[in-house]
Amino acid sequence: MTPPADMPLPTDRRVRAWLGEHLIADYIGEADAAGCMRSRFLSLRVTNEPAIPAGIPDARTQ
């Protein structure tokens, strides 16, 4: 069984930009591109975490 192509890689990052408690931007992709989100949203809170949470197996490797 082939996993979906849009499934994040273990090295991908999930970056979100927040205005208060409201999510206004959500990006999943390469770490280099994810780092640019912080500079695009200077005055907002930006979170940067692994796209695949720890402890969840990657379906592509099974």
In-domain check, residue 4: no
Closest alpha carbon to 27 in 47, 10, 11 = 47
In-domain check, residue 62: no
Per the model's pLDDT, the better-predicted residue between 4 and 2 turns out to be 4
Q: What's the mean pLDDT when you consider all of the chain?
A: 78
pLDDT of residue 59: 52
pLDDT of residue 12: 86
Rounded CA separation 42/52 (Å): 25
Closest alpha carbon to 17 in 54, 53, 43, 51 = 43
Residue 8 gets which letter from DSSP? Answer: P
pLDDT of residue 9: 72
Structural domain count of the chain: 1
Per the model's pLDDT, the better-predicted residue between 15 and 7 turns out to be 15
pLDDT of residue 26: 92
In-domain check, residue 26: yes
Per the model's pLDDT, the better-predicted residue between 35 and 28 turns out to be 28
* Domain that includes residue 28, residue range: 13-52
